[in-house]
């Protein structure tokens, strides 16, 4: 019976090691020792990245639904006070393989309608139609939630048709705009910005619109001061007349 002996890698010649795919190792150091000497390299698996991206997307969807519910409450108050009427537009459905599914890219825009406002102390305020100086303002807009880690609003490429719809509405004399909620400001509610689509059309199609400048950071990680707001915005309404987001005053800033 033949006794077989294990062969040490160190005893192999260079040509044999090359055929076996074994690289050069300094004499006296085996593979296990070299592995121990090297610190472990942290790696993020593809599955981990996908889970993180999914979590971020789910948070944005949750914030978006809460924002839509808040706007619905605001619009109900407008109607009750007789200072506006807004109609939400659901995305159209198409029939695919015998089933009705929402059309890719969503609907044209979220809301159309009108508000009634007058200027008081230089600020537009919602009012009844019989108030002296009241005027009816037709509106068309889309409501969005911005990226919680960016001061720039980027409009989704697959929804750029909304920008064209709003631009055409603005050319016809309608106040056409985007309402963008930035959840990282004025926590816990966030801060609501208005973007004039006509004035920022090219930016919306390309690099996005910067809404504010973040505060400077000191030597530590904590920011110093307050963000510098670049576009008109409001916080949650403190008015007892209108719940949540009373966005009518922002219309005074549109071109």
CATH number for the domain spanning 220: value is: 3.40.1350.10
Q: Which residues does 13 contact at the CB level (< 8 Å), separation at least 6? A: none
**What pLDDT was estimated at residue 8?**
57
CA distance linking residue 254 with residue 117, whole number of Å: 14
Judge whether 13 lies within some domain.
no
Judge whether 80 lies within some domain.
yes
**What pLDDT was estimated at residue 134?**
97
**What pLDDT was estimated at residue 229?**
97
Name the domain count of the chain.
Answer: 1
**What pLDDT was estimated at residue 97?**
81
Judge whether 40 lies within some domain.
no
**What pLDDT was estimated at residue 56?**
44
Q: Which domain holds residue 120?
A: 46-253
Tell me the residue length of the chain: 255
The 10s digit of each residue's pLDDT in 76-109 is 999 999 999 999 987 666 777 887 776 665 667 9
**What pLDDT was estimated at residue 65?**
87
Judge whether 37 lies within some domain.
no
Distances (CA, A) of 91 to 10, 95, 221: 69, 13, 43
Judge whether 129 lies within some domain.
yes
Q: Phi/psi at 235 (nearest 5 deg)?
A: -95, -175
Judge whether 232 lies within some domain.
yes
Count of beta carbons in the 10 Å neighbourhood of residue 229: 14
| Cβ–Cβ under 8 Å, residues 212 and 195 | no
Judge whether 217 lies within some domain.
yes
Count of beta carbons in the 10 Å neighbourhood of residue 107: 17
CA distance linking residue 84 with residue 117, whole number of Å: 9
**What pLDDT was estimated at residue 14?**
66
| Cβ–Cβ under 8 Å, residues 70 and 81 | no
**What pLDDT was estimated at residue 22?**
52
| Spans of the chain, pLDDT less than 50 | 9, 24-29, 31, 34-37, 48-53, 55-57
The 10s digit of each residue's pLDDT in 20-39 is 555 544 444 454 554 444 55
**What pLDDT was estimated at residue 62?**
60
Judge whether 107 lies within some domain.
yes
């Amino acid at each position: 019976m033949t006794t077989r002996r294990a062969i040490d890698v160190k005893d192999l010649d260079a040509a044999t090691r090359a055929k076996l795919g074994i690289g050069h190792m300094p004499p006296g150091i085996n593979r296990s020792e070299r592995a121990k000497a090297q610190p472990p390299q942290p790696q993020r698996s593809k599955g981990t990245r996908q889970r993180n991206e999914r979590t971020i997307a789910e948070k944005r969807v949750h914030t978006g639904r809460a924002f839509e519910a808040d706007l619905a409450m605001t619009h109900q108050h407008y109607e009750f006070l007789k200072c506006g009427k807004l109609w939400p537009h659901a995305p159209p459905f198409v029939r695919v393989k015998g089933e009705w599914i929402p059309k890719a890219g969503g609907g044209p825009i979220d809301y159309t309608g009108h508000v009634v406002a007058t200027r008081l102390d230089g600020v537009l305020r919602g009012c009844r139609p019989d108030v002296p100086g009241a005027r009816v303002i037709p509106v068309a807009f889309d409501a969005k939630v911005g990226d919680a880690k960016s001061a720039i609003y980027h409009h989704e490429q697959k929804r750029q048709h909304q920008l064209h719809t709003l631009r055409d509405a603005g050319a016809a004399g309608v106040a056409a705009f985007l309402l963008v909620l930035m959840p990282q400001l004025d926590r816990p509610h966030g801060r609501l910005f208005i973007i004039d689509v006509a004035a920022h059309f090219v930016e919306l199609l390309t690099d996005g619109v910067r809404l504010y400048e973040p505060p400077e950071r000191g030597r530590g990680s904590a920011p110093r001061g307050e963000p510098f707001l670049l576009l008109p915005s409001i916080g949650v309404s403190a008015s007892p007349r209108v719940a949540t987001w009373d966005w009518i005053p922002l219309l005074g800033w549109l071109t």
